[in-house]
Chain A
Amino acid sequence: MNQSLPKRRSSRDTYWYDLKTHWQLYLMLLLPVAYIIIFAYVPMGGASIAFKDFQIRKGIWDSPWVGIKHFRSFLTTPNFELLLRNTLILSGYTLLATFPMPIVLALAINEVKSARYRKSVQMITYLPYFISTVVLVGMMMNFFSLRAGFVNTVIERLGGVPINFMGEPKLFRHMFVWSAVWQSTGYGAVIYIAALGGVDQSNVEAALIDGAGRFRRVWYIDLPTIMPTIVIQLILAMGGIMSIGFEKVYLMQNPINLDVSEIISPFVYKRGLTQFQYSYAAAVGLLNSVVNLVLIVLANQFASRMGNTSLF
């Protein structure tokens, strides 16, 4: 009897016991776990073709190993430096411009007394989230078109000289980034507006009694309240730096702006799926994923050292 007690306790602690008591929960998890294993983990194993010479007839698993041949050939081409620079500039610029905007918008709307006004601004700014990338780029092409585009029509009526916004390589990054600001600010603000709902009213009252104006209340009360949310969002954004959207860049690319618009993900697509250099493209993609992982871990480390917030 003396021995059976601890033994029973440990038998309750096993996965077998967990399965027996919670078999219904296990059953629920079956499909989602199968999905994740098949469509996320199997491709991770499949990424081994980056170290092989993929041959269609032999498939992923039986193609011959070639070591780091594809990595070496990518890292030594002039393409590499160009791709890396373009990717980092484009995503860094996007992050710098799109990250603070939703915070500013949320802090601003939050101070307005009229609920109707707040709701309307929120509704309007949120609207572009529903516009697809294809439509957005299509709209930009029309809106900024040299012939009969809205912007150039206005410029001409004001007596200015039309500008070829979409054709000029120098303008590519600005067009890319500020259209992203246009599209994502309202959606991004939702989460901060929700977080601002958590502002402690007693702090606000105390600040009012102490004579703090709006600037100070925003700085000392609102901002610290949403700081954890900001940090989490920033870590997630850091993790996205290398995986900056394929869809929009690919649509905005043309032969003239390729020097600034060619970044890693469209490059992987073109090399792999239109030129069938599977192994080479997979190596570039894998390199990208690894850098991504390192960035997000570093950002997380940094955040947990600076404050107490971290993702994991």
Chain B
Amino acid sequence: MSNHSGLKLYRAPTDYLYMVLVFSLSILFSMAILVPLIFVVAASFSSPDALMAGQVLLWPVEFNLRGYTMVLEHKMLITGFTNTLIYAGAGTVINVVLTILAAYPLSRRDLKIRNPVMFLFAFTMLFSGGMIPLYLLVRDLKLINTRWAMLLPNAMAVWNVIITRTYFQSSLPDEMLESANIDGCDDFRFLWKIALPLSVPIIAVNVLLYAVGHWNSYFNALIYLNDNALYPLQLVLRDILIQDDTAGISMDVTKQLEQQRLRYLLQYSTIVVATVPVAILYPFVQKYFVSGIMVGAIKG
């Protein structure tokens, strides 16, 4: 890609134009992403008055932590945070276990039932019964308004099974299985002792994709839950950010004007608090990410 340095025989006149384009495009695009994010962070550390006056651009004005103390005092936010931790934690474990249990057998070319099962899985990516029948099923299973409704209906994603299967296929040579079999290793042991330790990148990719998915989705909660105490973070956020409901702030008196003034600030600090936990996941997983995705999705 970048290391053809030994061979600089020729430089087309258009090369300079190309590089100018490349740098200006990538810098512009990076700025377009960073500016709003920096603004949000700066705003979250500013004073409510500076915010209302439109003084904040890219640096906190009248630095203070009022926004974050409001987050800590907001009971619904704390409840949402706790619930999301439960859903994302338990959900990701269920997701990853099911994905591996599905992907490993499907990666075995000597398994006769492999193709029918693969078809059974893949067809669900093309066609679905739709939102209403799924809702009625969840209701018939008596899962409405339970934590299980956040875990079971999306316990496994077929797309992840496919990239994981592809990863197993290309990183576990048949000879490895054969010699393990000769040594008396059965399929359970092979998966646990040999396949999984060799597949850390794809497991990391799965954890990241599933965890971010749980953390960020609100749709299932919207349709399956109507008990506030079970709401995940994103539904609480929706009330704070979009429906502008600040009733949950526990303040001494209900001063309407004061609430108005603090609303923006609360919104910015909430955004920071809700996003940082997933964003810090990324650097840990990044080194696996490209290799995992590459082997999983491209060689397939």
Q: Which chain A residues have a beta carbon within 8 Å of chain B's beta carbons?
A: 13, 15, 18-19, 22, 24-26, 28-29, 31-33, 35-47, 49, 54, 59-60, 104-105, 108-115, 118, 120-121, 123-135, 137-139, 141-143, 148, 150, 152-154, 156, 182, 185-186, 190-191, 193-199, 201, 204-205, 208-209, 211-216, 218, 229, 239, 246-247, 251, 265, 268-269, 272-273, 278, 281-282, 285-286, 288-290, 292-293, 296-297, 312
Contacts and interface: CB of A to CB of B under 8 A. Distances in A.
B30 A148 contact: no
Contacts of B275: 130-132, 135
Contact of A49 (B128, B133, B278): B133
27 contacts: A18-B113, A39-B154, A39-B155, A45-B129, A49-B133, A49-B136, A104-B25, A109-B26, A115-B2, A125-B33, A126-B282, A128-B33, A130-B279, A130-B282, A134-B241, A139-B36, A190-B289, A213-B12, A213-B14, A213-B18, A214-B15, A247-B217, A268-B130, A272-B131, A278-B136, A285-B130, A289-B128
Contact of A121 (B26, B54, B264): B26
A265 to B, nearest CB: 7
Contacts of A28: 101-102, 104-105, 187, 191
B166 to A, nearest CB: 12
Contact of A46 (B15, B36, B137, B212): B137
A214 B14 contact: yes
Contacts of B156: 32, 35-36
B98 A133 contact: no
Nearest to A30: B101
A297 B158 CA distance: 18
Nearest to A19: B113
Contact of A138 (B23, B26, B267): B267
Nearest to B26: A121
Contacts of A278: 132, 136
Interface stretch (B66-74, B114-122, B168-176, B247-255): B114-122
Contacts of A127: 33, 37, 279
Interface in B1-30: 1-2, 4-5, 7-15, 18-19, 21-23, 25-26, 29-30
B215 interface: yes
Given A138-B271, A201-B4, A133 B218 contact: yes
Given A29-B106, A36-B156, A109-B26, 7 more contacts: A15-B113, A32-B121, A132-B218, A132-B234, A213-B12, A251-B242, A273-B132
A152 B39 CA distance: 13
Given A25-B111, A133-B218, A43 B186 contact: no
Interface centre among A40, A105, A251 (most CB of B within 10 A): A40
Contact of A134 (B15, B136, B242): B242
Contacts of B187: 22, 24-25, 28
A209 B117 CA distance: 50
Contact of A193 (B155, B161, B290): B290
By secondary structure, the B interface counts as helix
A112 B2 contact: yes
B284 interface: no
A297 B124 CA distance: 14
A10 to B, nearest CB: 13
B193 interface: no
Q: 4 closest A-B pairs (Cβ-Cβ)?
A: A213-B12, A138-B241, A285-B130, A46-B133
Interface string B260-275: 0000100110010011
B102 A29 contact: yes
A39 B152 contact: yes
B130 A286 contact: yes
Contacts of B290: 190, 193-194
A32 B128 CA distance: 17
Given A59-B140, A115-B2, A134 B238 contact: yes
B9 A209 contact: yes
A49 B120 contact: no
B137 A134 contact: no
Interface in B163-217: 186-188, 191, 212, 215-217
Interface centre among A43, A47, A282 (most CB of B within 10 A): A43
Contacts of A42: 129, 137
A194 B128 contact: no
A135 B111 CA distance: 45
Contacts of A115: 2
A195 B293 CA distance: 10
Contacts of B133: 43-47, 49, 60, 282, 285
Interface centre among B1, B98, B219 (most CB of A within 10 A): B1
A185 B29 contact: yes
B213 to A, nearest CB: 10
Interface string B222-263: 010000000000100110111000000000000000000000
